[in-house]
Structure 1
């Protein structure tokens, strides 16, 4: 009876080792990752634009514009920190997605700054 239990235990042990070798961390869903980041960014921007349009004076609109700029800056900082964490966790595809997202945001801010402030 003991030898039979040993055989069963060894078989189970081999199955666990095979599962560990076969299963690789493939939880890097790029579509879901970029969709959530873009959704937060776009919804935040839309909410601030609505608040700016509903502003009752120039100073209130400028205040909402400053709040929107702060929101974008904090969101960009969050994406940069997340890229560093993803790099440490060896999730390179998600890190690269974040780096591309950062590049697009910085280029968008740069082009917006040119149009707003006329740095030509």
Structure 2
């Protein structure tokens, strides 16, 4: 089943949506995650003074290079518990959608916004 055929999730209340803290941050560094089981990058992302700098493992190697990612903004969930991914601790979940072939396309603002701003 491709991603367009996945049924919608159950209806939730607005308070449940607000419990998921999605913020924008600027990628400060991106490097190949050589020890990952699937091709991935380790991203270092600045979410501004309230959240700070966090790291994320992201399987986004099909459409992006580390050099092209540095300085760009991405959206991420910043209030999930950290998750051990191989030898690194992923602190945030960088968000993306699958393209027609299932490769990740990042969720990014189309204009610069202040780091740390929350999605609403």
TM-score by length of 2: 0.22
Q: Which has the higher strand share?
A: 2
Greater C-alpha radius of gyration: 1
Higher relative contact order (CA 8 A, sep 6+): 2
TM-score by length of 1: 0.22
Q: Which has the higher helix share?
A: 1
